[in-house]
Amino acid sequence: MGEWLLILLILAPVAFGLLAWAAPGDRSRGWAVTVGALATIALSLVFAVTAKTGESWISLADLFGGRTEWLAFGLELLIAIVVAVIAVRVRSRLILALALVQIGLAVAEEWFSLRAAPALPGADFRIDTLAIVMVSIVSIIGSIIAIYALGYMKHHQAHAPATAQGSGRFFFVLVGFLGMMNGLVLADNLRWLTIFWEATTLCSFALIGHDGTPESRKNARLALLINSFGGVAMMLGSLLALSGSGVEHLSGITAANRALIPLAFLALAAFTKSAQLPFQSWLLGAMVAPTPVSALLHSATMVKAGVYLILRLAPGFTGSRVMFAIALAGAFSFAAAAALAVGQSNAKKVLAYSTISNLGLIIACAGINTPLAYATAMMLLLFHAIVKALLFLCVGTIEQKIGSRDIEDMGVVMFELPVTTLMALVGMASMLTPPFGMLVCKWMAIESAIASPLILLFLILGSALTLFFWAKWLGRIQTVSYHATLTREKLPLSILSAEYILGGGVVLTAIMGIPLFQILFAPLAVQTYQGIVISAESLSILDSVGGLDICLIMLFIALAAIANMLTGRYFKPERVRLPFLSGENVVTDARTFRFRGLKDEPDEAWTTALYLDTVFTETKITQWTNWLAILVLLTMFALVVGI
């Protein structure tokens, strides 16, 4: 049954996406998307529950008989040809060149595999705990975003430029994306991995370019270019694995005695997909797309493919210097992207840089490559997916309401959109405050990084900068004057329910952080590193996480909340005062924040947070950090060839 579920997980989203495309009206499309989303969630749950413990392998040849390799080869070629056609249509010589290289590599790989049977036989798909966790994240969070998109797109299409594509195609790609992503995390055969890898690239190209404006077309092209480069790296990696060590499976690469060269190429592909420095520009450009697309790219799909691949490969290379270079690249991205976020007041840009930064942290943990670091990376991946989805959805709602994505304009949202703002507050607070999961992760990350001081230093500097940009934003959106009651928010059901579910998810992971670690992630890490030589200390440190008293922190927050409620009886309108403006407040019936300035002219009291744009200038930092990141990547390749 597992095998059919697996195929359904890949194909059902695509089928429902097709239904949504074919649907004649908004209503029927809404049904198709909702049913498709719920079905995907249900499928992933059934899949997780019924899966056998340990690993199981599935080959298409066993299911259908005959030579399914031809199917894989055909699909691989087809996707490369589609990329080439797109390249011609968007008139990009570079993308065309990359597509042609991909076609060449696909043919070369086929020729190699026909010439000699692979040394290590294997299956097309692998089901294990990592894959199940990934499938659940993709299917559940991705589906919630798809449901949110129903409410969002109604508003968006009403104001969209005339060049925008239809809603039908949008939902087809959006929902189908989940199927491709599921395939990606389940594939073990490098050829199938490449197919899904490239399919997600095409999906993101279509979604980023949805509005059809010159800017969105340009950014979609950039995303296609960078990710096609990643695709070439991946195909080159698989070709080298096949020609060098005779393996054509991910499991083979980790098993084949130190297949370092394919590892380096696959890591390069992962870096492009996860938008690590110096490949970050495509993810920043992606924010021109409608918000659900950003939410999907940043949380459940696309960028998670890269970190998944690193996580999949890492345990096979413990103690390797290449893994150290990967960890270094991740830690560097963590700190550099945080520095880049400090200077930004564009909300979506801050979110994008914070995604890059967090993914860097995940890659750093994966690269550190101990059981604790591995479990940390998995937890970070889960929390980040939930929080980023929530934050993007909230920012999208706020943007539609106030018509701006500038952080400094968000001083009014607490009053006008209390629910959305509260959810955004929870999301942001979870990025840096106890007792939320992210902080536990940071705690574990520092504990794991202690053996590699250079990585530790980047983590410490990055943490300080992370605090900087989140605190500024938190401070702005929670700004509120005294109101007896707040506005009641009128939002479509799909938007509200998505926000509530994800917000609840964030709180739940805060409460369940440690148990989740003990029940799911610690055993996952132990199981992953089974049979690999590691020190006993690195296993015993897993237990120290249980010593963290999250309940105590919760208790004190609850105490503060209770005390605050008890002081509630003092909160009477007649006790409300205006802020101190040197005694020059303009006093009227309404509460204003104006003061008597020059010639007694009333003036608005207004301050913005620090952005330090002379220090944290985006162009300047990007230039420097990109060169440094390239240097780190070159170091990785130098280590591979043994310089």
Can you give the binding site for another protein, defined by CB under 8 A?
A: 411, 432-434, 439, 442-443, 446-447, 450-451, 453, 456-457, 460-461, 463-465, 467-468, 471-472, 474-476, 478-482, 537, 540, 544, 547-549, 552-553, 556-557, 559-561, 563-564, 567-568, 570-571, 575-582, 593, 605-607, 609-610
Which structure tokens are listed for 611?
């952005």
Round to whole Å and give the CA distance between 324 and 320.
7
Question: Which amino acid is it at 6?
Answer: L
Task: Determine phi and psi for 631, rounding to 5 degrees.
Answer: -60, -45
User: Following DSSP, what letter does each residue of 355-421 receive, concatenated?
Assistant: HHHHHHHHHHHHHH-SHHHHHHHHHHHHHHHHHHHHHHHHHHHHHHHHS--BGGGGGGHHHH-HHHH
Shortest distance, position 517 Cβ to another protein, whole Å:
14
- CA 220 to chain CA mean position, Å: 18
Sequence-separated (6 or more) residues with CB below 8 Å from residue 30: 150
Other Cβ atoms less than 10 A from the Cβ of 573: the count is: 8
Shortest distance, position 511 Cβ to another protein, whole Å:
17
Task: Determine phi and psi for 57, rounding to 5 degrees.
Answer: -120, 145
Instruction: Compare residues 28 and 487 and give the one whose CB is closer to another protein.
Output: 487
Instruction: Compare residues 54 and 547 and give the one whose CB is closer to another protein.
Output: 547
Shortest distance, position 447 Cβ to another protein, whole Å:
7
CB of 231 within 8 A of CB of 201? yes
CB of 341 within 8 A of CB of 469? yes
Question: Which amino acid is it at 581?
Answer: L
Torsion sign across C-alpha atoms 233, 239, 245, 247: positive
Instruction: Compare residues 63 and 450 and give the one whose CB is closer to another protein.
Output: 450
Q: In terms of DSSP H, where are the helices of 187-259?
A: 190-208, 214-240, 250-255
Instruction: Compare residues 91 and 577 and give the one whose CB is closer to another protein.
Output: 577
Instruction: Compare residues 125 and 616 and give the one whose CB is closer to another protein.
Output: 616
Instruction: Compare residues 37 and 327 and give the one whose CB is closer to another protein.
Output: 327
Instruction: Compare residues 50 and 564 and give the one whose CB is closer to another protein.
Output: 564
Round to whole Å and give the CA distance between 198 and 106.
12
Shortest distance, position 196 Cβ to another protein, whole Å:
39
Shortest distance, position 429 Cβ to another protein, whole Å:
9
Shortest distance, position 516 Cβ to another protein, whole Å:
17
Query: Among all chains, which residue has been given the structure tokens 């794991």?
Result: 448
Query: Among all chains, which residue has been given the structure tokens 């860097």?
Result: 360
Shortest distance, position 480 Cβ to another protein, whole Å:
5
**Do β-strands 594-596 and 602-604 pair in parallel, antiparallel, or remain unpaired?**
antiparallel
Instruction: Compare residues 53 and 607 and give the one whose CB is closer to another protein.
Output: 607
Shortest distance, position 538 Cβ to another protein, whole Å:
10
Round to whole Å and give the CA distance between 537 and 275.
34
Instruction: Compare residues 59 and 518 and give the one whose CB is closer to another protein.
Output: 518
Task: Determine phi and psi for 596, rounding to 5 degrees.
Answer: -80, 115
Round to whole Å and give the CA distance between 438 and 506.
10
Shortest distance, position 332 Cβ to another protein, whole Å:
16
Question: Which amino acid is it at 450?
Answer: I
Shortest distance, position 343 Cβ to another protein, whole Å:
14
Question: Which amino acid is it at 414?
Answer: M
Shortest distance, position 499 Cβ to another protein, whole Å:
20
Shortest distance, position 489 Cβ to another protein, whole Å:
18
CB of 591 within 8 A of CB of 313? no
Round to whole Å and give the CA distance between 381 and 134.
9
Shortest distance, position 466 Cβ to another protein, whole Å:
10
Shortest distance, position 585 Cβ to another protein, whole Å:
11
Shortest distance, position 401 Cβ to another protein, whole Å:
19
Shortest distance, position 532 Cβ to another protein, whole Å:
20
Radius of gyration of the chain (CA): 25
Which structure tokens are listed for 41?
């969630």
Among 75, 114, 118, CA closest to 253: 118
Instruction: Compare residues 94 and 552 and give the one whose CB is closer to another protein.
Output: 552
Instruction: Compare residues 299 and 370 and give the one whose CB is closer to another protein.
Output: 370
Which structure tokens are listed for 255?
């098993």
Helix (H) or strand (E) holding 125: strand 125-127
Instruction: Compare residues 82 and 425 and give the one whose CB is closer to another protein.
Output: 425
Query: Among all chains, which residue has been given the structure tokens 């299917």?
Result: 139
- CA 192 to chain CA mean position, Å: 22
Cα dist from 529 to 328, 366, 375, 526, 534, whole Å: 21, 12, 11, 5, 8
Instruction: Compare residues 577 and 599 and give the one whose CB is closer to another protein.
Output: 577
Round to whole Å and give the CA distance between 269 and 198.
11
Instruction: Compare residues 433 and 497 and give the one whose CB is closer to another protein.
Output: 433
Instruction: Compare residues 580 and 627 and give the one whose CB is closer to another protein.
Output: 580
Instruction: Compare residues 451 and 631 and give the one whose CB is closer to another protein.
Output: 451
Among 212, 226, 218, 206, CA closest to 91: 218
Cα dist from 233 to 236, 239, 261, 505, 634, whole Å: 5, 10, 11, 36, 14
